[in-house]
Structure 1
Amino acid sequence: MKIATYNVNGVNGRLPVLTRWLRESAPDVVILQELKAPQDKFPRGPIEDLGYQAIWHGQKSWNGVAILSRVGEIHETRRGLPGEPGIGQDPPQSRYIEAAVNGVLIAGLYLPNGNPRPGPKFDYKMAWFDRLIAHAAGLVETGLPVILAGDFNVMPTAKDVYKSERWTDDALFAPEVRAAFARLIDQGWTDALRTIHPDETIYTFWDYFRNAYQRNAGLRLDHMLLSPALSARLTDAQVDRHVRGWEKSSDHAPVWIELADDPAG
């Protein structure tokens, strides 16, 4: 089974890019972030025309998450984290969605950016991250096969950023944020990309400015984490880097993994 995550950076504005990639790459399950579309403006029709079912947690502005599947029914289990913190938003920010698909629990997220740091946006990022870590611990304890995937807005190590010294004051590379990611991993999650590419310079995001993509001045912000019950099934993990070079593409590239069939299934 091929499962992908993609910060599409505006699902309606990037719909030609998204549908082209879906046809070309043909993932079985897709987790989308940054829909930038209210609930009633999600492009359900064009996505269903490609053979995908969809659930989504939409919101105008920069939020919104979705799960697509072409291999089985999507059984939604949660939208929003339990006890999710807020900073006065009404409605709350749309950053988390969870569903069972084809025997795997899919948890899709869009972690807050947190800039500028310090400040209320950074405090919100850390509070949200704490709630994610608490919920993720419960997911691991279930013993179920779980994928925790999306745009974490975290560069875990210096290997995950071009010229890390330039990011020392940024919320995406803050010591507290990287420590929180490490606490999450320590619950038993497997970082799929780093497992397959332990030493490779591999990025998932390139800024629109300063020819970042052409210079490969990127960041690794998009992660796919596998629970202990699922990690042994990982056979491949890649970034569709070329998609970032398409006209009017997102500043992120899709990340995908391949899972072997469940021997128990």
Structure 2
Amino acid sequence: MASGKTLKLATYNVNGIATRLPHLLEWLREAQPDVVALQELKATDEAFPVGALEDAGYGAVWQGQRSWNGVALLGRGVALTESRHGLPGDAKDDQSRYIEAAIHGIVVGGLYLPNGNPQPGPKFDYKLRWMARLHRHARTLVGLPHPAILMGDFNVIPTDADVYDTKAFRKDALMQPAAREAYAALLAQGWTDALREVFGDRQVYTFWDYFRNHAERDRGLRIDHLLLNPVLARRLKSAGVDRWVRLKEKASDHAPAWVEVSAPEPRTRE
């Protein structure tokens, strides 16, 4: 039985945490998410603004990388202990793209999946290898007896309904058949795509590029996803995208996407 409390879990590609810190802090104040996965920190571990986030009421774990990539997890009102630093399966992969921790009773995997452009080529090959590793690890989480979520920038447009213009992205790595098939195979493990579950056939985007006022015209893509294992999917209450953050001056090209779930019951000792 779920408790009466609701938890808000969110993912946000900040596209440079130093530049977007004011936007991030404003959004944290307004939205008050309980758990946040951040991507594209574009900052070293030492440059991560842990003090500012602590002042905002959030504990954090992070994996930085100079100029590129970088992921973090935030928990409101709690200190975090990282349980996984990097995606398993390739000891030589030094890109900062995956981080995992238990937060508010939920196993949270925050990820930044490779873009894969230009394709075909080595970057797209790396994307598919990374997705195969994600599949193997996700199998260990989907069947857990307690709630788990994978959320972040997946850099995959799952279907034609998730892009404003299919012709414009026909050759893009984000909607190649191999990437789409890999994403569908991930869902087939038993994960629930929360935004699609809540919105059904309705349009919902999480990313708008900087060209031709695409954000203002709502010509976007859905590439930021929140995948719930069956235990957590049964607790799903609502979901949405805070597009107002994207419409701010000098914003990231992504907006925060979120779900609300019934909180797990606190564990008690026998």
Interval of TM-score (by shorter of Structure 1 and Structure 2): over 0.9
| Matching residue's letter, 1:43 | P
Partner in structure 1 of residue 200 of structure 2: 198
Residue identity over aligned pairs, in percent, reads 57
Mean CA deviation greater in 212-221 or 134-143: 134-143
SS of equivalent residue, structure 1 residue 74:
coil
Judge conservation of contact 1:59–1:94 (CA < 8 Å) in 2: yes
Judge conservation of contact 1:29–1:71 (CA < 8 Å) in 2: no
Matched, 1:31 2:37: yes
Judge conservation of contact 2:116–2:124 (CA < 8 Å) in 1: yes
In the alignment, the residues of structure 1 paired with residue 145 and residue 177 of structure 2 have an alpha-carbon distance, to the nearest angstrom, of 30
Judge conservation of contact 1:5–1:222 (CA < 8 Å) in 2: yes
Matched, 1:99 2:101: yes
In the alignment, the residues of structure 1 paired with residue 203 and residue 91 of structure 2 have an alpha-carbon distance, to the nearest angstrom, of 34
Partner in structure 2 of residue 111 of structure 1: 113
| Deviation of the 1:262 alpha carbon | 2.6
Judge conservation of contact 1:58–1:94 (CA < 8 Å) in 2: yes
| Matching residue's letter, 1:67 | L
| Deviation of the 1:222 alpha carbon | 0.2
Matched, 1:68 2:74: yes
SS of equivalent residue, structure 2 residue 109:
strand
Q: TM-score, normalised by structure 2?
A: 0.94
CA RMSD of aligned residues (A): 1.3
Deviation per residue, 1:145-170 (Å, 9 max, x gap): 10100000000000100111221111
| Deviation of the 1:84 alpha carbon | 3.1
Judge conservation of contact 1:152–1:221 (CA < 8 Å) in 2: yes
Gaps spanning 5+ residues in structure 1: where? Answer: none
Gaps spanning 5+ residues in structure 2: where? Answer: 1-6
Partner in structure 1 of residue 4 of structure 2: none
| Matching residue's letter, 1:255 | A
Partner in structure 2 of residue 218 of structure 1: 220
Deviation per residue, 1:167-207 (Å, 9 max, x gap): 11110000000000000000000011011101111100000
| Deviation of the 1:72 alpha carbon | 3.0
Judge conservation of contact 1:189–1:226 (CA < 8 Å) in 2: yes
| Deviation of the 1:28 alpha carbon | 0.8
4+ long deviations beyond 3 Å? none
Q: TM-score, normalised by structure 1?
A: 0.95
Matches within 5 A, 1:50-65: 50-65=56-71
In the alignment, the residues of structure 1 paired with residue 111 and residue 26 of structure 2 have an alpha-carbon distance, to the nearest angstrom, of 23
The size of the alignment, in residue pairs, is: 261
Q: Could you say which structure has the greater relative contact order, defined with CA pairs below 8 angstroms and 6 or more residues apart?
A: 2
Matched, 1:13 2:19: yes
| Deviation of the 1:263 alpha carbon | 5.2
1:165 to 155, 167, 181: 167
Judge conservation of contact 1:85–1:124 (CA < 8 Å) in 2: no
SS of equivalent residue, structure 2 residue 18:
coil
1:22 to 19, 28, 34: 28
